[in-house]
Amino acid sequence: MQKIGVFVCWCGSNIAATVDVETVSDALAREPGVVFSTNYQYMCSQAGQDMIQEKIRELGLTGVVICSCSPRMHEATFRRACEKAGLNPYLVEIANIREQCSWIHKDKAVGTEKAIILGRAAIAKVQLNAPLTAGESPVTKRALVIGGGIAGIQTALDIAEAGFPVDIVEKKPTIGGKMTQIDKTFPTLDCAACILTPKMVDAAQNEKINIISYAQVEEVAGFVGNFSVKIRKRARFVDETKCTGCGLCTEKCPQKNVPNEFNQGLDNRRAIYIPFAQAVPKVATIDPNYCTMLKTGKCGVCSKVCTAGAIDYRQQDEIIQQEYGAIVAATGFEPISMEKFDEFAYSQSPDVVTSLEFERLMNAAGPTGGTLLRPSDGKHPHTLVFVQCVGSRCDGGEKGKPYCSKICCMYTAKHAMLTREKYPDTEVYVFYIDVRTPGKNFDEFYRRAVEEYGVHYVKGMVGKVAPENGKLKVQASDLLGGRQLHIDADMVVLAAAIEPDRSARPLATMLTASMDTNDFFTEAHPKLRPVESPTAGVFLSGACQGPKDIPETVAQAGAAAAKVIGLLSRDHLTCNPCVAESNELMCNGCSACEKVCPYGAITYIDKEFRGPNRTTLVRRVAQVNPAVCQGCGACTVACPSGAMDLKGFSNAQIMAEVDAICK
Amino acid sequence: MQERVKAKAIELLESGCRVLGWKAGEFFYDVTPAVFTSREEIERDFVFNPFCGANQSKYLIAESRRGGRVAAFLKPCDTYSFQQLQKEHRILRENVYAVGVQCPGMCDMDALRAAGLRGVTGAEDRGEKLLVHTLRGDREVDRSLALSERCRVCKSKKLLDCDEMIGQQGEELVSTRFTEVERLEAMTPEERFAFWRGELSRCIRCNACRNVCPACSCEKCVFDNPASGAENKAPASSFEENLFHIIRAFHVAGRCTDCGECSRVCPQHIPLHLLNRKFIKDINQLYGPYQAGADLETRPPLVDFQQDDPEPSIVGERGTNP
Amino acid sequence: MKDMTELVTRISGANPRKCMKCGKCTAACPAYDEMDYHPHQFVDMVETGRLEELMNSRGIYMCLSCFACLERCPRSVEPARLIEAVRLAVIRQQDKNHLKPEQIPPLLDPDLPQQAITSAFRKYRK
Amino acid sequence: MQVNQEFRPTIAAFCCNWCSYAGADLAGTNRLQYPADVKIIRIPCSCRLNPLFILRAFQRGADGVILCGCHPGDCHYTTGNYYARRRMTLLFSMLDYLGIERERTRVEWVSAAEGAKFAETMNEFVSTVARLGENRRLEDLRCKSE
């Protein structure tokens, strides 16, 4: 026998002005199952809540209907109150008689009548409510960080600091990412390596951090707190445990003509290589595309010179299967290809370089040892032209990106400034559309480039770069000066737009994390949840979420770590109990529900059922993982037999509401 | 044909299969599906004649799970349902030996009556012709005259997913099966309403359509499920037949292969296939051509979407006759 | 003049509001020195409704329709189309300088290549 | 057409919890008026709307049914409204095919910020349905009076 209590709130005069609360509570008292009905000035007040609790205890109520403001406002409040009085919180229903009744109607008779109907619908529903208990799922106290750039390293360090083990999966032979290639950082001009490499070493030495380099994530299964990840660690043909990183092999390897990706292909490395001196792990790697031994079986020089006996030509890819509670995507960015920008002659002249290449040309560990020399003839350049927004802010077309790459204004100012500082005999032009410097000490930095270092900032995009007699003819328009410029430049530096790393898209698919049209990961809320992906348990760190400079990346990395720590510090996760549930007796096993489930919460098992005449029958039936299901109900409609139902919003409950409203 | 099929049935039986085939009913034209387990039964009862219209695929749901192998004779349209049911994981394919039987179109007693034949006592397959025995002697008629509606607008003679074939493999055909739907669409809403009122008002809710339909093979129908909120075994109000037919058509939308069994078995001769065909036609038009059962991979249209699908308002915008 | 702006944007199919004033069109323009207004200014003038000035300018006839600006424009504003539309607008407005077919032969220089005449017809047949 | 002043339609409005229900709340917060004939039923997502519910509403005397959900692409559950869109398109087409006035059913995407759109939609829908009058046809499909 149902014992339902109805509590009608006046909300001061918010409800009471257009709804006759007395009439409503009287009318609802006569509904079947209702044993108590009253009204009160403010139900959500302490006194109001006390009254509800008292009546639950006194009358042993089996259901509570509160006619008040929107459930979006106080459903949680009332549920908590009822739970304290011993009533299952899911036996509480709210009739929204404020936002959807009193506030939109002027006529008191109309408002009162509608409020009664809304109350009836809530009563009809609550009769069918079942007590629900939020399920719990355990949390694996280990985090996975995908990507070992500054974002990934910082996130891992912060998580490890809190005492949780972290794995970093990095696809390159070393962690460090793009920041290792950068010479100086704006706006302080301190050396990037000097601030990054200690962090890399910290990560390597931290007991809680396990670096899996030269590896890629292949498969992700599971859900928040319980991810199961398959990682492929590619064969580097060098035993990591034996290699001492002495580098002798990299000096002796006879294959010398491999483009060095660390220097953006501006010089060559050997087939066996350590990307750079401070690499972590400092272990050699054989490039199978170039190694003569691996390709033809003839050579073996590195093996002969290696005193540690670390070379292993027969090494195979290794598959690592690991459980994690949280996953952080920190896949970073890439500069876009300049191949399509013919107007800047990138493919025609080696003296047209991207900013990242320029970064290497200025770097002491770079191909020129830090002396700025033209790639074509190794001569000192006198006139340099920097072009901003190359491929950024393009409307449509496959050539460029529609967004602002955010970091180019500042690094171009940095390059221009450094060039003028080191080589005062140079003329430096920067062609810009806008100079965007919103950041601490950013505009001051840009102004210094102009005022102290005499960099020529010209408003206007470069129209054409043509190599001619060892010079680069740059044609541009000075829009503010109203004149056409023809500059004979020695070097042109293109501030290429940045795009998400190519590995991000397949990773997003594996993680069921969503992406925008530009392949940046989407955040759960653009303002309030910037480091969480909409998929629970997946977090975002760094430029994989959008273009970012180093300080922003580090800040976001820390924020992502904080979210991970918050998750991992819990022993159990409570799940929303309003989830789908499959009735195995009715399930056909047809897979329609599985196909529409956006979370992969539905799996199938073969189950034995008793058939007629003592036979057993094996049928395929759906099972819902309540920890993964978010309760959208798509499956319930895809299911023809009605075997799939949604707790809290069951077919019968919604039908009861429909009936109450349409009477 | 009958002899070839029968010989194959015996051969398969002796190789250790149960055989799903057809057996004569009370009248020569009400041939029913049956499972044969002995040679005697086959020799005595097994038939394959122009009245073997019943779709065999649905019986394979239970038969394929009974243990042991079952051999089944499937006409082209049966193979579409057969494959659709596999797609829904209902039939255990490995337990079925499927023999595709090419079909020249199945005949219908109503069509014979409509052709003016009275007192019909039997009919024999003569290829293009049908030899009809009547009380007033034999008459040979064109088989095309005797074909049921669904066979006159046959969509495909292709035998899908068979282990063996009797007769030639056929092709997908250009069918005029949507003509009747188009005729209805061209009517005014009032005319359509009058048409359907005339048809649906005859429903006696015998559930024959549901019971024969290969797509309606739920372990428990939503209308028998007390938790669904829609349970009603016998109609409580006049509305419920409408509800039943609309929901039934909706539940098989995207899964219905248009085999036409629902209309064949309806004792009240309600053209139920016109509801299913309307969904098929809409799906083809709105979401691209789709034939249920044609393959095992394509996502059924109702568990699929495109970001630029038309809005529901298209129903009004495109007019009554799209 | 507002109608004129609409006319020009309609004929050209270009949207001057998409311009972010980067000046790449002007930077790429081979006829810069001959023009009084330059491609990025054309766009701005259309957008701000200074069409009369533009229609009376010499610059629009200096445009070679080489489409360098159209090719380079990162925002798909396509100044060359705007220019062409302005020229058309001038022609439509004046409504006087239409040539009758029989007036053409005496105007032709006998040394002018036939192909150039044909291509000119093609280009301006609108 | 003469609008029957006496006739007040019964309208069931199914609103998804995340966008449209919040949009309806916003309409209330902004005191935007729409007829009391509209009664809202909260569902988690537009994809929770079973065609059964719509027919049941008509069976129990509703004169119009409207579904409101997040705009396509904005679904809280990422894809729910896309499925809902296909289902409703086909169902509405079927009802139209049976001769039921197609103006009695409707889908409208209303975001949490579109309180005004919600109120406007409801005003318009109520007047459309009121003009059609009482819903008899679904009931009448079965009863042949001749």
Tens of pLDDT, residue by residue over D64-84, are 999 999 988 778 887 899 999
CATH of the domain at C36: 1.10.1060.10
Per-residue confidence (pLDDT) for residue B202, from 0 to 100? 87
Per-residue confidence (pLDDT) for residue A224, from 0 to 100? 87
Asked whether residue C115 is domain-assigned, the answer is: no
Neighbours of chain A (3+ CB pairs under 8 A): B, C, D
Asked whether residue C108 is domain-assigned, the answer is: no
CB contact under 8 Å between A637 and D51, yes or no, is yes
Among B228, A661, A577, A92, CA closest to D15:
A661
Q: Is B165 helix (H, G, I), strand (E, B) or coil?
A: strand
Q: Which CATH number is associated with domain A336-499?
A: 3.50.50.60
Asked whether residue B240 is domain-assigned, the answer is: yes
How distant is the Cα of A595 from the closest Cα of chain B, in angstroms?
6
pLDDT grade, residue A536 (50/70/90)?
Answer: confident
pLDDT grade, residue A504 (50/70/90)?
Answer: very high
Structure-token pair, residue A380: 């000192």
User: By the CB < 8 Å criterion, does D140 face chain B?
Assistant: yes
Residue of C nearest to A399 (CA): C74
Per-residue confidence (pLDDT) for residue B312, from 0 to 100? 92
**A322 beta partners:** A229
CB contact under 8 Å between D55 and B246, yes or no, is yes
Asked whether residue C92 is domain-assigned, the answer is: yes
Among B119, B167, B101, B111, CA closest to B141:
B111
Helices (H), A206-317: 248-252, 292-296, 301-305
pLDDT grade, residue A490 (50/70/90)?
Answer: very high
Per-residue confidence (pLDDT) for residue D42, from 0 to 100? 96
Directed axis angle between helix A46-59 and helix A71-84, to 10°? Answer: 50
Which among A399, A433, A475 has CB closest to C22?
A433
How distant is the Cα of D1 from the closest Cα of chain A, in angstroms?
26
In the predicted structure, residue A524 carries a pLDDT above the cut 80: no
B158 and B215 in a single domain? The answer is: no
Beta strands at D64-69 and D11-16: parallel, antiparallel or unpaired: parallel
With beta carbons under 8 A apart, name residues in chain A contacting D113.
none
Name the class of domain A580-647.
alpha beta
Per-residue confidence (pLDDT) for residue B320, from 0 to 100? 44
With beta carbons under 8 A apart, name residues in chain D contacting A643.
none
Beta strands at D64-69 and A272-273: parallel, antiparallel or unpaired: unpaired
In the predicted structure, residue A104 carries a pLDDT above the cut 70: yes
Mean pLDDT of A431-438: 95
With beta carbons under 8 A apart, name residues in chain C contacting A344.
none
In the predicted structure, residue D143 carries a pLDDT above the cut 60: no
How distant is the Cα of B250 from the closest Cα of chain D, in angstroms?
7
User: By the CB < 8 Å criterion, does B86 face chain A?
Assistant: no
Domains A4-128 and A336-499 share a fold: no
Mean pLDDT of B43-55: 91
With beta carbons under 8 A apart, name residues in chain B contacting D138.
239, 242
In the predicted structure, residue C119 carries a pLDDT above the cut 80: no
In the predicted structure, residue C35 carries a pLDDT above the cut 80: yes
Per-residue confidence (pLDDT) for residue D141, from 0 to 100? 57
Per-residue confidence (pLDDT) for residue B236, from 0 to 100? 61
CB contact under 8 Å between A661 and D39, yes or no, is yes
Mean pLDDT of A571-600: 90
As a whole number of Å, the CA-based R_g of chain C is 15
Q: To which H or E segment does residue B140 belong? A: strand B137-142
Q: CB-based burial of residue B240 (10 Å sphere; 0-12 exposed, 13-18 middle, 19+ buried)?
A: buried
Chains A and C touch, contact meaning at least 3 pairs of CB atoms under 8 angstroms apart: yes
Query: Rounded to whole angstroms, how far apart are CA atoms A45 and A40?
Result: 10
Extract long-range pairs of B93-96: CB within 8 Å, 24+ residues apart: B93/B64, B93/B161, B95/B63, B95/B64, B95/B65, B95/B68, B95/B69, B95/B70, B96/B60, B96/B63, B96/B64, B96/B69, B96/B70, B96/B71, B96/B72
Residues of B (173-202) whose Cβ lies below 8 Å from D? 184-185, 189-198, 200-201
pLDDT grade, residue B318 (50/70/90)?
Answer: low
Percent of all residues in chain D with a pLDDT value above 90, rounded to a whole number: 68
With beta carbons under 8 A apart, name residues in chain D contacting A633.
43-45, 47-48, 80
With beta carbons under 8 A apart, name residues in chain D contacting B242.
55, 98, 138, 141-142
ipTM of the predicted structure? 0.77
How distant is the Cα of A569 from the closest Cα of chain C, in angstroms?
49
pLDDT grade, residue B235 (50/70/90)?
Answer: low
Q: What is the mean pLDDT of chain A?
A: 93
CB contact under 8 Å between D79 and A596, yes or no, is yes
With beta carbons under 8 A apart, name residues in chain A contacting B88.
588-592
Task: Note whether D41 and D13 are within 8 A (CB).
Answer: yes
Residues of C (16-75) whose Cβ lies below 8 Å from A? 18, 20-29, 32-33, 38, 40, 68, 72, 74-75
Task: Note whether B279 and B256 are within 8 A (CB).
Answer: yes
Substitution target from B315, B317, B318, B321 for chain D, most D beta carbons within 10 A: B315
Q: What is the mean pLDDT of chain C?
A: 83
> Which architecture characterizes domain A235-316 according to CATH?
2-Layer Sandwich (3.30)
Query: Rounded to whole angstroms, how far apart are CA atoms A267 and A167?
Result: 33
Per-residue confidence (pLDDT) for residue D145, from 0 to 100? 38
Per-residue confidence (pLDDT) for residue A576, from 0 to 100? 86
Q: What is the mean pLDDT of chain D?
A: 88
Hey, what CATH topology would domain A4-128 get?
Rossmann fold (3.40.50)
In the predicted structure, residue B322 carries a pLDDT above the cut 80: no
Domain ranges of chain A: 4-128, 141-222+321-332+501-571, 235-316, 336-499, 580-647
B19 and B160 in a single domain? The answer is: yes
In the predicted structure, residue D63 carries a pLDDT above the cut 80: yes
In the predicted structure, residue C95 carries a pLDDT above the cut 60: no
Residue of D nearest to A633 (CA): D48
In the predicted structure, residue A112 carries a pLDDT above the cut 90: yes
Residues of B (232-291) whose Cβ lies below 8 Å from A? 251-252
Tens of pLDDT, residue by residue over A10-47, are 999 999 999 999 999 999 999 999 999 999 999 999 99
Query: Rounded to whole angstroms, how far apart are CA atoms D42 and A370?
Result: 66
Per-residue confidence (pLDDT) for residue A417, from 0 to 100? 96
Asked whether residue C77 is domain-assigned, the answer is: yes
- Number of structural domains (chain B) is 2
Per-residue confidence (pLDDT) for residue B237, from 0 to 100? 64
CB contact under 8 Å between A394 and C29, yes or no, is no
Domain range for residue B10? 1-108+152-176
Mean pLDDT of D130-144: 72
With beta carbons under 8 A apart, name residues in chain D contacting B204.
none
**Helix-, strand-, coil-residue percentages of chain C, each rounded to 5:** 65, 0, 35
Q: Which DSSP state fits A627?
A: T
CB contact under 8 Å between D78 and A598, yes or no, is yes
Least confident of A13-27, A201-215, A574-588, C106-120: C106-120
Would the pTM count as exceeding 0.80? no
pLDDT grade, residue A366 (50/70/90)?
Answer: very high
Percent of all residues in chain B with a pLDDT value above 90, rounded to a whole number: 62
Tens of pLDDT, residue by residue over B104-120, are 899 988 888 888 888 88
Q: Which DSSP state fits A525?
A: B
pLDDT grade, residue A639 (50/70/90)?
Answer: very high
Which among A585, A619, A641 has CB closest to B221?
A641
Per-residue confidence (pLDDT) for residue A528, from 0 to 100? 78
Least confident of A382-396, A545-559, B175-189, C103-117: C103-117
Least confident of A95-99, A249-253, A599-603: A599-603
Domain range for residue C41? 2-97
CB contact under 8 Å between D83 and B247, yes or no, is no
Residue of B nearest to A615 (CA): B66
Hey, what CATH topology would domain A141-222+321-332+501-571 get?
FAD/NAD(P)-binding domain (3.50.50)
- Of B124, B144, B176, the domain-final residue: B176
Sign of CA dihedral A566, A570, A576, A579: positive
> Which architecture characterizes domain D11-140 according to CATH?
3-Layer(aba) Sandwich (3.40)
Q: Which one is predicted more confidently, A381 or B129?
A: A381
With beta carbons under 8 A apart, name residues in chain A contacting B228.
642, 651-652
Least confident of A70-79, A588-597, B125-134: B125-134
User: By the CB < 8 Å criterion, does B92 face chain A?
Assistant: no
Among B96, B136, B129, CA closest to B12:
B96
Mean pLDDT of A175-188: 95
Domain ranges of chain D: 11-140
pLDDT grade, residue C125 (50/70/90)?
Answer: low
Which among A617, A619, A640 has CB closest to B218?
A640
